């Protein structure tokens, strides 16, 4: 078991988190300082978390005698998708996030390659869910496969074996894979836990015989599965600003699947960074998880009969006529039968589109509130959010976006935004677009749109995919540009000619879908079936403070006033960022498991010091990209070997 790391201290009792990632990305102002969010799940437990309680997770056996009421409750109301998918992957693989197993020992796959562990003919993935740094797949034969970092039981299975990849692994199997891996040096090889890196089925014996799954979804630190009868199973935990909250009132960390009580006849699940919404056949919406940003949309008294009330599914304050639901990282949406849209949760950048309090520090919408600005746009087909922005699709094929302006996540140039609907900070800079606004650069009819943390995707009726927003890690899918201001057609040899139908974004890769193909990338996935969009997380993990897009520079950047950085190391995915500390103390960049002889760089002995880039990394970067390269990438916080990425 790796050593525990100390959690970052929180100066606010509830809404400010250990990571303070939002506050790091944007300088706080009186009008628009960002509220902090719960940290993403990592391979270390917070020091202040209580002692873990792990249950066996075995679901109760079916009753021997089934009553008429029980028969009615077990009626089939949901159906699983059937289209089998190929899976293409690229991006960071330091911890097996791509699900390639022993097919490669590379820490990075710079371009799309077919995942040999998920062939359509035999495995047959039909639906995918993406969490912070883990994923889950539902197969045609009713298996749930999981892979990635197994923080706090997120994979639902034991992964305590095998650490090293095969010595002769030169790259992923297949011609495309060899082409990609041959372009890399051998310096970026990593040791992987094969039980985490390989897509593996959750033990079916943990579910009652005959259980059929129809949907899966994932938060940053948990996974949930919906059955054909409308029941929900889950495993993992929920986290808040002070670490682990728990999976249920009785269990801190649930490492094997267990039936979530209080949920019947559920037809759809949607999940945020640390909360879940469930829509029932009767049109009710139940919520549970972390409630620090009021993302649950219901009154939480703290404890109910001595139990943590937020961990018990409860109906939020909405009429029972909801037809669809959606989530952002820390906010939520519901569309009612009459077409009215309601939103609640975090609103510091106006991401709910509820005008009151938008832009205020730690602003939240307490309860489901109608967003009246949607009325002029007609019926809303789908709606979801990223961290600070949101997107929606209308019945007549328009894509709408709103929220934070200065990170290009809206896909609307500032000059094209309605000036009277902008909120400015104290320096007169536009920061928030308060109303849903059409993207005029997409001329074709839009049938699908999704928002990731700071970038977005839209799919047109003819199967073309457009993306825009933050792109330093190429998560928007475009080369040679760090920010994509306008919706831009997604093109490369792997997607050209394919009809894309949906997209999804996770912690550090984005996803889009095409017929018979999924593309996992620096969180990008392409599939032919709806990928369940799950949690848009920050570009951080486990409370490590990092700088936002405006600070992606190695030299000459202002001190952003970060809190004192915690120990940097342990199990965190590599992020090409520069770290700074506003407090004294030694901070190190080290390899996985943080062994003392594997530390690759130290710094921050003085207030405001910055982490240096490892010299070989800078040398390689300058050789391949010139001096300007250092203004784009800045090292790996986990100590995984850094290799310039070109994809």
pLDDT in tens, 190-229: 788 999 999 999 999 999 999 999 999 999 999 999 999 9
Phi, psi of 98 (to 5 degrees): -85, -10
- What is the predicted pLDDT for the residue at 133? 83
Across 433-437, 439-443, 629-633, least confident range: 629-633
Q: Is 427 exposed, middle or buried (0-12, 13-18, 19+ CB in 10 A)?
A: exposed
- What is the predicted pLDDT for the residue at 547? 30
- What is the predicted pLDDT for the residue at 622? 44
DSSP character string of 252-283: S-EEEEEE-TT--SEEEEEE-SSEEEEEETTS
Q: Which residue has better confidence, 517 or 249?
A: 249
Phi, psi of 485 (to 5 degrees): -75, -40
pLDDT per position as a tens digit, 443-497: 999 999 988 888 888 989 998 889 898 877 667 777 777 888 999 988 777 667 7
Per-residue tokens: 402: 């709103």
- What is the predicted pLDDT for the residue at 305? 55
- CB of 200 closer than 8 Å to CB of 117: no
Question: Using 50, 70 and 90 to split pLDDT, how confident is the model at 1?
Answer: very low
- What is the predicted pLDDT for the residue at 482? 81
Section 571-595 average pLDDT = 31
Q: Which residue has better confidence, 354 or 606?
A: 354
Q: Where are the domains of the chain?
A: 551-647
Question: Using 50, 70 and 90 to split pLDDT, how confident is the model at 29?
Answer: very low
Most confident region among 62-76, 489-503, 604-618 by mean pLDDT: 489-503
* Secondary element (H or E) of residue 73: helix 68-73
Count the neighbouring beta carbons within 10 Å of the beta carbon of residue 339: 14
CA-based Rg of the chain, rounded to a whole angstrom?
A: 23
Q: Quick check: 93 pLDDT over 90? A: no
Most confident region among 23-37, 117-131, 205-219, 492-506 by mean pLDDT: 205-219
Question: Using 50, 70 and 90 to split pLDDT, how confident is the model at 181?
Answer: very low
- What is the predicted pLDDT for the residue at 306? 53
Across 9-13, 67-71, 285-289, least confident range: 9-13
- What is the predicted pLDDT for the residue at 382? 95
Percent of the chain having pLDDT more than 70? 58
Listed residue (18, 96, 113) closest to 518, CA to CA: 113
State the number of CA atoms in the 13 A half-sphere of 324 facing the CB: 14
Question: Using 50, 70 and 90 to split pLDDT, how confident is the model at 564?
Answer: very low
pLDDT per position as a tens digit, 281-339: 999 999 999 999 999 999 887 666 556 899 999 999 899 999 999 999 999 999 999 99
- What is the predicted pLDDT for the residue at 365? 95
- What is the predicted pLDDT for the residue at 138? 95
Q: Quick check: 173 pLDDT over 90? A: no
Q: Quick check: 150 pLDDT over 50? A: yes
DSSP structure class, residue 611? P
- What is the predicted pLDDT for the residue at 473? 66
- CB of 603 closer than 8 Å to CB of 633: no
Q: Which residue has better confidence, 115 or 532?
A: 115
Distance CA 77, CA 148 (A): 31
Q: Which residue has better confidence, 69 or 342?
A: 342
Q: Which residue has better confidence, 265 or 647?
A: 265
Percent of the chain having pLDDT more than 90? 42
- What is the predicted pLDDT for the residue at 72? 53
- What is the predicted pLDDT for the residue at 79? 96
Listed residue (154, 42, 195) closest to 592, CA to CA: 42
Section 399-417 average pLDDT = 94
Per-residue exposure over 569-606, b if at least 16 CB sit within 10 Å of its own CB, e if not: bbbbbbbbbbbbbbeeeebbbbbbebeeeeebbebbee
Angle at 29 between CA 26 and CA 35, to 5 degrees: 60
Q: Quick check: 32 pLDDT over 80? A: no
């Amino acid at each position: 078991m790796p050593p525990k790391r100390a959690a970052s201290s929180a100066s606010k009792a509830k809404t400010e988190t250990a990571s303070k990632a939002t506050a790091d990305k944007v300088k706080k102002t009186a009008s628009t300082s960002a509220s902090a969010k719960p940290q993403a799940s990592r391979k270390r437990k917070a020091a202040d978390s209580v002692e873990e309680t792990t249950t066996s997770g075995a679901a109760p056996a079916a009753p021997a005698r089934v009553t008429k009421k029980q028969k009615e409750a077990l009626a089939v109301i949901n159906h699983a998708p059937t289209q089998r998918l190929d899976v293409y992957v690229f991006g960071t693989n330091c911890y097996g996030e791509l699900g390639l197993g022993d097919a490669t020992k590379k820490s990075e796959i710079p371009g799309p390659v077919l995942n040999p562990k998920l062939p359509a003919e035999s495995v047959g993935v039909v639906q995918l869910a993406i969490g912070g740094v883990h994923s889950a797949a539902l197969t045609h034969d009713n298996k749930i496969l999981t892979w990635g970092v197994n923080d706090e039981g997120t994979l639902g299975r034991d992964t305590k074996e095998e650490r090293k990849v095969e010595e002769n692994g030169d790259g992923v199997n297949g011609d495309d894979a060899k082409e990609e891996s041959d372009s890399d040096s051998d310096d970026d090889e990593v040791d992987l836990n094969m039980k985490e890196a390989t897509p593996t089925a959750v033990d079916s014996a943990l579910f009652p015989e005959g259980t059929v799954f129809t949907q899966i979804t994932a938060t940053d630190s948990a996974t949930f599965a919906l059955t054909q009868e409308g029941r929900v199973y889950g495993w993992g935990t929920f986290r808040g600003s002070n670490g682990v909250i728990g999976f249920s009132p009785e269990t801190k960390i649930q490492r094997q699947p267990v039936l979530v009580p209080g949920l019947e006849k559920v037809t759809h699940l949607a999940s945020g960074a640390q909360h879940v919404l469930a829509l029932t056949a009767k049109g009710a919406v139940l919520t549970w998880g972390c409630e620090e940003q009021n993302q649950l949309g219901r009154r939480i008294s703290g404890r109910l009969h001595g139990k943590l009330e937020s961990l018990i599914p409860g109906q939020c304050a909405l009429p029972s006529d909801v037809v669809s639901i959606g989530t952002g990282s820390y906010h939520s949406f519901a569309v009612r039968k009459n077409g009215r849209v309601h939103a609640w949760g975090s609103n510091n950048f106006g991401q709910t589109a509820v005008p009151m309090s938008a832009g205020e520090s730690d602003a939240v919408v307490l309860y489901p509130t109608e967003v009246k600005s949607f009325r002029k746009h007609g019926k809303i087909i789908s709606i979801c959010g990223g961290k600070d922005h949101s997107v929606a699709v209308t019945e007549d094929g328009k894509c709408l976006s709103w929220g934070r302006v200065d990170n290009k996540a809206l896909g609307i140039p500032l000059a094209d935004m309605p000036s009277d609907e902008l909120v400015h900070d104290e320096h007169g800079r536009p920061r928030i677009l308060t109303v849903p606004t059409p993207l005029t650069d997409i001329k074709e009819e839009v049938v699908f749109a999704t928002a990731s943390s700071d970038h977005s995707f839209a799919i047109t009726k003819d199967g073309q995919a457009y993306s825009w927003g933050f792109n330093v890690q190429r998560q928007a899918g475009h080369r040679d540009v760090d920010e994509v201001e306008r919706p831009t057609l997604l093109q490369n040899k792997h997607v050209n000619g394919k009809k894309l139908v949906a997209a999804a974004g996770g912690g550090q890769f984005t996803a889009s879908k095409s017929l018979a193909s999924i593309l996992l990338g620096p969180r990008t996935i392409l599939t032919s079936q709806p990928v369940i969009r799950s949690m848009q997380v920050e570009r951080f993990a486990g409370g490590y403070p990092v700088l936002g897009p405006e600070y992606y520079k190695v030299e000459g950047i202002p001190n952003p006033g970060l809190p004192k950085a915690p120990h940097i190391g342990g199990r965190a995915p590599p992020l090409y960022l520069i770290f700074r500390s506003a407090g004294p103390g030694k901070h190190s960049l080290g390899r996985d498991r943080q062994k003392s002889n594997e530390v690759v760089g130290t710094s921050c002995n003085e207030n405001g010091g910055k982490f240096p880039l490892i010299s070989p990394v800078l040398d390689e970067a300058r050789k391949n990209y010139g001096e300007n390269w250092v203004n784009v990438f800045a090292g790996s916080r986990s100590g995984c070997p850094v290799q310039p990425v070109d994809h």
